[in-house]
A and B are shown apart, each in its own frame.
Chain A
Amino acid sequence: NAGVTQTPKFQVLKTGQSMTLQCAQDMNHEYMSWYRQDPGMGLRLIHYSVGAGITDQGEVPNGYNVSRSTTEDFPLRLLSAAPSQTSVYFCASSSLGGKGTEAFFGQGTRLTVV
């Protein structure tokens, strides 16, 4: 079972470059989200979506865009990469199960901006 698949696993960007982190899930989950994980900061929510065509901002949305054209895919776009965006990015999905619903995470994308 694939679950949540993130690509690429590693990426190095130069300051000012743009790129898209891909996320796909095959569990027909309505909810999808992007988190970044930094040392000493835990996981912080960037953007999330509660269904196709619906997205909203999380705690740290600046410098990132998302779209949700299908249930399966939720790409994260970095418009103009900055060193402060060096981090490990995780995509997660879950069903509309209400409280206590399990979030399934991808393996992460380790991004370095130089």
Chain B
Amino acid sequence: TQLLEQSPQFLSIQEGENLTVYCNSSSVFSSLQWYRQEPGEGPVLLVTVVTGGEVKKLKRLTFQFGDARKDSSLHITAAQPGDTGLYLCAGADSRGGADGLTFGKGTHLIIQP
């Protein structure tokens, strides 16, 4: 069974601070996805990283896939209250798709004004 460990589980910081969320596994994944979930809604995809060492930027969010494709990180620069939410990492096996995802338990992020 593939497992994904996310840390921290909870994070509350002030607006304008920087933060990093980690997603680690002992297994190799074909790709790794990051989702954001707001209360009462389903997860929404932020980014997919496929190649070991890959870095992707989405405005103030920077995503990195580890060289060995076992871990990933999400870095947020100058966090805003609108970044508040549950961040989930999900590892995909070679099939990809909605059936082949292994989710971490998530990081609850609160950005205080």
Contacts and interface: CB of A to CB of B under 8 A. Distances in A.
Contacts, number: 91
Contacts of A40: 105
Interface residues of B, number: 27
* Chain B interface, >50% SS class: loop
Nearest to B45: A102
A100 B92 contact: yes
Interface in B18-77: 30-31, 33, 40-45, 48, 50
Contacts of B33: 100, 102-103
A43 B1 CA distance: 15
Interface in A9-68: 29-33, 35, 40-45, 48-50, 56, 58-59
Interface of A: 4, 29-33, 35, 40-45, 48-50, 56, 58-59, 90, 92-108
